[in-house]
């Protein structure tokens, strides 16, 4: 998971993944979309390939790259778990707040009842 996370943090690699989201592309097409050198794009593609985020296939003289979604599913699961935990934590905090409010309301009502009862007893005495 760390290798995948590190691979997608680079802006150029993220853009390459977005580019491959819609269709497979040749190394030349990918390199042509960026203002960095072809060897630099080649290094980015190697990092993505080693992380399992893209696969390549040689057809004739061209090398085609295609997005692999499997490794992204691992990150997606990780983030879903984080969101779920955070959601439950917020729910428990809201429940705790509601319990506190209800307890305070009941104590206030009980104190008011006691005060009213004491006042009535004094008036009759």
End-to-end CA separation in angstroms for the chain: 78
Distance CA 92, CA 95 (A): 5
Structure tokens belonging to residue 29: 């097409």
Q: Please state the φ and ψ torsions of residue 26, each to the nearest 5 degrees.
A: -80, 160
What pLDDT, on a 0 to 100 scale, did the predictor assign at position 79?
79
In this structure, whether the domain defined by 2-68 belongs to CATH 3.40.50.300 is answered with: no
Give the model confidence (pLDDT) of 6-24 as tens digits. Answer: 788 899 999 999 999 989 9
Give the model confidence (pLDDT) of 77-94 as tens digits. Answer: 877 887 777 666 777 777
- The order of strands in the sheet holding 54-59 is 25-26, 62-67, 54-59
Distance CA 64, CA 28 (A): 9
Q: Please state whether the predicted TM-score (pTM) of the whole model is above 0.75.
A: no
């Amino acid at each position: 998971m760390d290798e995948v996370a590190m691979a997608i943090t680079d802006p150029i690699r993220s853009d390459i993944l977005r580019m491959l989201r819609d269709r497979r592309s040749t190394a030349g097409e990918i390199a042509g979309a960026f203002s960095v050198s072809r060897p630099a794009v080649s290094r980015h593609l190697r990092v993505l390939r080693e992380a399992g985020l893209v696969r390549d296939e040689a057809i004739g003289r061209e090398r085609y790259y295609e997005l692999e979604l499997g490794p992204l599913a691992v990150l997606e699961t990780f983030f879903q778990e984080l969101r779920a935990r955070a959601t439950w934590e917020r729910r428990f905090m809201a429940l705790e707040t509601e319990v506190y409010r209800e307890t305070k309301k009941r104590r206030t009502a009980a104190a008011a009842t006691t005060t009213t009862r004491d006042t009535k007893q004094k008036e009759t005495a």
